[in-house]
Amino acid sequence: MISKKGIMEKAIEADVKLVQLMFSDLLGGIKCVTIPVDRLGEAMEKGIWFDGSSIEGFARISESDMYLAPDESTFGVIPWKNGEGAIARIICDVHRPNGEPLEINPRYILKKAMEKAYKMGYEYMVGPELEFFLFPKNEEGVVRPKMHDGAGYFDFAPKDAAEDVRKDIVFGLQSLGIIVEASHHEVAPSQHEIDFKYGSAVSTADNAITFKYVVKSIAPKHGLFASFMPKPVFGENGSGMHVHQSLFDVKTGKNIFYDETDKHKLSKTAKHFIAGQLAHVKAMSAILAPTVNSYKRLVPGYEAPVNICWGQNNRSALIRIPRISPGRENSCRAELRCPDPSCNPYLAFAVMLYAGLEGIEKKMEIPAPLEEESAYDLCEEDRKKLHIETLPGSLQLALEELKKDTLFKEVLGEKFFKKYIEIKEEEWEEYNIQVTEWEMEKYFPHI
């Protein structure tokens, strides 16, 4: 890890003039306090004070004083802001005046989950795949979901009109220390995916919010708007955030999920972990798919998983186990396919980990895998025969499942649990009283 002195030397070498202190709110929005570089040393030593009551869900006005504590390992110079003095960014933890971490700060919640895993001898490794759309602005600068190209999965230029955009995004990510593994056009027109290397959950969540920041910053330089909305276009595939996950032994560094003797190459620990996630996934949905719009992606017919099942190399299953080639035992993993990029990655990884760890602690039994059948094609009668349930069909139903889940109420903390549900129920109620364009077209001319 780079030292405080090393960071200051790097800032001077890069001619940094301003530093953005970044952190995440409850819902995954990126917040920022910008300081002159000559205050960076003070920030790393003592923190920077701010008004926490202005951040959704953080604090009441009577307990608003908080400070940001920069995590030196996240320091990076923002490449596209170079000019007369560069700008750097650093991700921060949030603390109360007495020095204690803010218990409802999403990054702290994930750190607590990681501590629990570490005490059990595990390090939780994740690799998210964030999909997004690029839309052009009209002459007035207004953004509407109008397709930027007509390309499809893995198409390339000239059908793929955003090749140069993705190239600049990749360069931006690399400049901030994120290792990019692949970049390509996705299934829907104007839809894209850039994959970065998996890692320990906290640093990967840092990379995920940095990824969204970079994509949204680079797109306007090409006259485009980037959207991580799960389902921005009716009739097209939505954007997911599939998460590849595994547990590694903290002492040996070996992947605990792998077992050469098992048919699916999965250890008992891996099966218990998967069983825990399947048992809690209905409640997790309120955090993994946290918006009203999320449930317009999670419908049959658009390659989104809705049936609660698992299978090896079965992309229709909620949890897919990719096949492992010889010599790649450490790549054994379980891919959870229901999260979408509107989620807060810190919270998403935390609830996924807690659910899996409970499966291990209670030695939960994994159900039979879905091997040959496509989960996309299962009818209600098929699901009954196979004892397969479905994900909640709306944010409201997901919140009801979350409220019933005693595990998450305990591990997330009652204060966070209550505040998150309150915010999301208000969102659902606000949606319910809207008069939509669909209603106007369907009813207004005819009634």
**Which of the residues are catalytic?**
51, 129, 131, 186, 193, 242, 315, 335, 337
How would DSSP label each residue in 184-204?
Answer: EE-SSTTEEEEEE--EEHHHH
Query: What span, in angstroms and rounded, lies between the C-alpha atoms of 244 and 65?
Result: 38
Query: What span, in angstroms and rounded, lies between the C-alpha atoms of 327 and 189?
Result: 37
Taking the CA atoms of residue 166, residue 167, residue 171 and residue 172 in that order, the dihedral angle to the nearest 10 degrees is -30
Residue 402's Cβ-count burial label (10 Å; 0-12, 13-18, 19+) is: buried
Q: Is the CB of residue 2 less than 8 Å from the CB of residue 10?
A: yes
Query: What span, in angstroms and rounded, lies between the C-alpha atoms of 396 and 384?
Result: 24
Closest CA to 284 of 368, 362, 204, 344: 344
The neighbour count for residue 101, using CB atoms within 10 Å, is: 16
Query: What span, in angstroms and rounded, lies between the C-alpha atoms of 12 and 8?
Result: 6
How do beta strands 86-95 and 16-24 pair? Answer: parallel
